């Protein structure tokens, strides 16, 4: 497998932006996933290859730092590459630049290779012996542990919609930070944007389930515990550092 970096341009559309004209969190996550999926396909480790072998890539962590969100009609360049090999998976990094070449967003994601039928992790090297990485990090992170919320400042519930489900038959990774950002005070959300997002995925969530988000807010930092109400299982933890909205 010849490894390198994927570089792709995106022009932001109006429906990908929020009321402030900046890229929505869910759209950002989808762009990262699109770039990752495209590169994995080129490298021969994409979803079709995995499904043929009864395997699947499952996201376990994201760490995203946002200098600023791009605006409506802005062109951005997304660069992504496999950055680190793990025993049971791999790390993929991202760098997003604006039209002037300024770095506006960096991100790192951690993925586990699983046996799709048994739902158990498998050794990367055993199933993809030719897997290679570019030894460079966009964001130096080891995906630190996210503490559970110590108190319940806000509680919100969301029903998993059909459109929240991806090809793996469970909630798409982009939806979890959307739920978290929707689980702060309305006035706060209208006047602030995430500056840093850390996500730890715990268990899958499925169509029709109700997900309860318990949030703890301390100044410009929020902690979110996402739990399925039917059996109480924790599906994700998210930590967000916020900043005030930036003028367009």
Q: Tell me: the pLDDT tens digits for 99-110?
A: 999 999 999 999
Q: Is the Cα dihedral 44, 46, 51, 57 positive or negative? A: positive
Q: Give the pLDDT confidence score for residue 247 in this predicted structure.
A: 67
**Contact of 139 with 106, CB cutoff 8 Å:** yes
**Contact of 131 with 125, CB cutoff 8 Å:** yes
Note down pLDDT in tens along the chain; length 248 residues.
Answer: 567 899 999 999 999 999 889 999 999 999 999 999 999 989 888 888 888 888 888 899 999 999 999 999 999 999 999 999 988 889 999 999 999 999 999 999 999 999 888 889 999 888 888 889 999 999 999 999 999 999 999 999 999 999 999 987 899 999 999 999 999 999 999 999 999 999 999 999 999 999 999 999 999 999 999 999 999 999 999 999 999 987 65
Per-residue pLDDT of 156-167, as tens digits, reads 999 999 999 998
Alpha-carbon gap, residue 232 to 223, rounded angstroms: 18
Q: Give the pLDDT confidence score for residue 133 in this predicted structure.
A: 93
Coil, helix or strand for 153?
Answer: coil
Q: Which residue has the tokens 């944007």?
A: 193
* Nearest of 36, 33, 30, 38 to residue 12 by alpha carbon: 30
Alpha-carbon gap, residue 193 to 97, rounded angstroms: 18
Coil, helix or strand for 148?
Answer: coil
Q: How many CB atoms lie within 10 A of CB 62?
A: 25
Q: Cβ contacts of residue 21 below 8 Å, gap of 6+?
A: 71, 72, 248
Say what the pTM is. Answer: 0.94
């Amino acid at each position: 497998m010849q490894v390198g970096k994927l570089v792709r341009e995106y022009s932001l559309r109006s429906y990908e932006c929020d009321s402030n004209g900046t890229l929505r969190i869910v759209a950002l996550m989808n762009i990262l996933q699109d770039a990752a999926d495209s590169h994995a396909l080129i490298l021969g480790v994409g979803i079709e290859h995995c499904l043929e072998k009864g395997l699947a890539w499952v996201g376990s962590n994201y760490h995203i730092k946002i200098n600023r969100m791009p605006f409506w009609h802005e062109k951005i360049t997304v660069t992504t590459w496999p950055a680190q090999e793990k025993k049971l998976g791999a790390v993929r990094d991202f760098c997003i630049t604006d039209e002037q070449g300024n770095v506006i967003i960096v991100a790192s994601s951690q993925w586990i290779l699983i046996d799709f039928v048994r739902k158990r992790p498998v050794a990367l090297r055993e199933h993809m012996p030719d897997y290679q990485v570019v030894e460079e990090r966009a964001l130096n992170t080891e995906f630190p542990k996210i503490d559970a919320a110590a108190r319940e400042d806000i509680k919100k519930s969301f029903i998993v919609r059909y459109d929240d489900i991806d090809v793996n038959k469970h909630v798409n990774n982009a939806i979890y930070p959307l739920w978290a950002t929707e689980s702060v005070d309305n006035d706060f959300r209208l006047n602030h944007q995430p500056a840093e997002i850390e996500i730890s995925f715990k268990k899958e969530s499925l169509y029709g389930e109700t997900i309860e988000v318990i949030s703890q807010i301390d100044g410009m930092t929020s902690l979110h515990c996402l739990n399925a109400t039917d059996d109480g299982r924790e599906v994700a933890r998210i930590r967000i550092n916020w900043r005030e909205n930036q003028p367009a």
